[in-house]
Structure 1
Amino acid sequence: MQTAHTVSQVREVVRGWHREGLSVGFVPTMGNLHSGHISLVREAMARCDKVVVSIFVNPTQFGPNEDFDRYPRTLDADAAQLVDAGAALLFAPSVEEIYPLGQNQTWVDVEGLGDYLCGANREGHFRGVTTVVSKLFNIVQPDVAVFGEKDFQQLAILRRMSEELLFPVKIVGAPTSREDDGLAKSSRNGFLDESERKLAPLIYANLQKLRSDIEQGARDFRNLEQRYTERLNTAGFQVDYLTIANASSLAPAAKNDTDLVVAVAAKLGKTRLIDNVSLAVVDNP
């Protein structure tokens, strides 16, 4: 595996692959890799000849009271995992390399989809995500980019961005990787203490129960949201949102919507966890 720290190094390597007629897959990450990230790399490898993985903790997607400074930086351990996984190129730039003029004056902002779920209470978060991913797409020039479905809203926004800005990149969503007890794998899980880690799987367990309620005919979505929010809060979480949404618009679902996503964000101690489940309502009463 090659390692590059500059834009020019990445472009030189990728140009060589393209001249050889090789397809290029891309997995953007913020590092502190776990097996969920590696599953994205393997998905990209199954689709492409060469795979680039970026590790960049992007400051513009963190709010003023969020965990940018304490976000784990584990580049050497991450690189070892990527070598084992078979990645061809690691791109690990500095902040100055990605934002060479300092504070950006040019932003990529997808309107509408970012107004709900995480976007409702994290002003500027998705603008930071879409801006940095558009920069990375311009740098890497991939044929395929793979993102995890755990970040459902992010995936939907990046798909819309890519379509509307005519990026020649196929966006692939990979299923959420989970621990044996159902907890969605996340770098932030490492912030949980022992008691919090035991509670954390209740998020997915309640999402499954809520999905089952809908599949069995429950259609008062606002009541379901309130009931399951109260369950999680009583269990020790601080729920930011628990929403039954239209899977396309991400707006709160109406009774006649058929493609749904149930999404949740909740704090456990100081750690913010997110998860979701999707379902298609076949027989809407």
Structure 2
Amino acid sequence: MVVFNKKDELTPFIQNLKKEGKTIGFLPTMGALHEGHLSLAKLSIAQNDYTIVSIFVNPTQFNNPEDLEKYPRTEEKDIELLTQNGIDFVYLPSVSDLYEEGEVAKKYNFGGIENVMEGEFRPGHFDGVATIVSKLIRAVNPDRAYFGEKDFQQVRIVQEMVKQEQLPVEIVPVPIKRAENGLALSSRNVRLSAENLEAAPFIYKVLQDAVSLKNEGKTPDEIKAFVQQTFDQSSFKLEYFEITDEETLQTLESFREHQKARGFVVAYAGDIRLIDNIQF
């Protein structure tokens, strides 16, 4: 494995590989890697000649400075894990390698998908996400970039950014990787107390129950009322539950045949914010 710290060294190296006709898969991460990341990496390895993983905790996507400070950083462990799993290259940049001094996130207009759900509760978050993913894709110039569907709204944001900026890359969404008990794998899970870790599969169970209700003919509003009531009786604090169209991310008032819908949930286990979603 080769580790790059500067895009001025990485970019020409990748360009030379592409001149040789090699395909490049790319996995942008913020580190604290787990089996979810590895499921993306395995797909990239299967679909490309080379795979590169970036590890960068992006400051412009955190609207809460405390959350940025507490975000787990395990670079040595991450690099060891990637080496064991056949990753060819790692890009480990500093903030100054990607951002000019004083630079802030670019302001985007994605037709409204940036303002709902996570966009509503984390103002400016998706400007930061789109800004850094654009910078990373330009530095790496991959053929394909892989994103987990646990952050489904983020996947849609990245797809729209790539369209707007006409970047020559295929965005590959990868299904959520779950623990055996159903908990969606996340870097934040390491911060869960033993008690909350044991209880956390409740979130996925509620999502599964919501799908069952949809299949029984319940309306989105009826399902949302069920989810709220179920969380009210639990140890978790529900921040939001929404049922939306997968493409537009706009809230659904009814289900239509052949329409792709998805349920999104955010809940707190203590002070840890957990997100999950499921296709209806």
- Aligned partner of 2:272 in structure 1 is 271
Distance 1:63 1:98 in 2: 19
What are the Cα deviations for residues 182-231 of structure 1, in whole angstroms up to 9, with x where unaligned?
A: 00000000111011111110000000010111012112x12321221221
Q: What's the secondary structure of 2:53's corresponding residue?
A: strand
Answer whether contact 1:55 1:92 (CA < 8 A) is retained. Answer: yes
Rounded Cα–Cα distance in structure 1 between residues aligned with 2:127 and 2:88: 29
What is the CA-CA distance between 1:259 and the residue it aligns to? 1.4
Which residue of structure 1 lines up, in the alignment, with residue 165 of structure 2?
Answer: 165
Match of 1:67, SS? helix
Contact preservation (8 Å) 2:176, 2:184:
yes
Question: 2:165, 2:122 → 1: CA distance?
Answer: 24
In structure 1, the partner of 2:67 is 67
Aligned to 2:136: 136
Deviation of 1:100 after TM superposition, in Å, equals 2.3
1:261 paired with 2:259, answer: no
Over aligned residues, Cα RMSD in angstroms? 1.3
* Residue 101 of structure 2: aligned partner: 101
Structure 2 residue matching 1:81: 3-state secondary structure: helix
Q: Residue 262 of structure 2 aligns to which amino acid in structure 1?
A: V
Structure 2 counterpart SS, 1:266: strand
Deviation at 1:107, TM superposition (A): 3.9
In the alignment, which residue of structure 2 is the partner of 1:110? Answer: 110
User: Structure 1: which amino acid aligns with 2:179?
Assistant: E
Shift of 1:108: 4.1
Name the SS for the 2:217 alignment partner.
coil
Partner of 1:182 in structure 2? 182
SS at match of 1:213: helix
Q: Which residue pairs with 2:249 in the alignment?
A: 250
Number of the residue aligned with 2:232: 233
Moved more, 251-260 or 55-64: 251-260
Which residue in the other structure is 1:200 paired with? 200
Q: Provide TM-score, normalisation by structure 2.
A: 0.96
Rounded to whole Å, the distance in 2 between the matches of 1:107 and 1:141 is 22
The Cα of 1:101 is off from its aligned counterpart by 2.8
Equivalent in the alignment of 1:283: none
Shift of 1:105: 6.5
Partner Cα distance (1:65, 1:226) in 2: 33
* CA shift for structure 1 position 256: 4.2
Structure 2 CA distance for aligned equivalents of residues 102 and 73 of structure 1? 23
Structure 1 pair 71/105, CA: closer, same or farther in 2 (3 Å)?
Answer: closer
Q: Which SS does the other structure have where 1:52 is aligned?
A: strand
Q: How does 1:43-54 map to 2 (within 5 A)?
A: 43-54=43-54
Partners in 1 of 2:173 and 2:105 — Cα distance?
30
Report if aligned partners of 1:110, 1:127 keep a CA contact under 8 Å in 2. no
1:237 deviates by 1.1
CA shift at 1:97, angstroms? 1.1
Q: Which residue of structure 1 lines up, in the alignment, with residue 29 of structure 2? A: 29
Instruction: Give matches, 1:214-225, under 5 Å.
Output: 214-219=214-219, 221-225=220-224
CA distance in 2, matches of 1:222, 1:105: 36
* Secondary structure in 2 matching 1:113: coil
- Alpha-carbon spacing, 1:274–1:66, altered in 2? closer, same or farther (3 Å): farther
Task: State whether residues 5 and 92 of structure 1, in contact with CA within 8 Å, keep that contact through their aligned partners in structure 2.
Answer: yes
Change (3 A) 1:8 1:109: farther
The separation in 2 between residues aligned to 1:199 and 1:66, in whole angstroms, is 25
Question: What amino acid is the match of 1:31?
Answer: G
Q: Is contact 2:224-2:242 (8 Å) kept?
A: yes
Task: Identify the residue that residue 127 of structure 2 maps to in structure 1.
Answer: 127
Maintained 8 Å contact 2:146/2:173: yes
Q: Gaps (5+ residues) in structure 1?
A: 280-285
Q: 1:246 is matched by which residue type in structure 2?
A: D
Q: Distance in 2 between matches of 1:206 and 1:189?
A: 18
Per-residue CA deviation, residues 49-69 of structure 1 (Å, 9 max, x unaligned), is 111100000011101355100
Q: Which residue number corresponds to residue 282 of structure 1?
A: none
- Normalised TM-score (structure 1): 0.94
In the alignment, the residues of structure 1 paired with residue 65 and residue 104 of structure 2 have an alpha-carbon distance, to the nearest angstrom, of 20
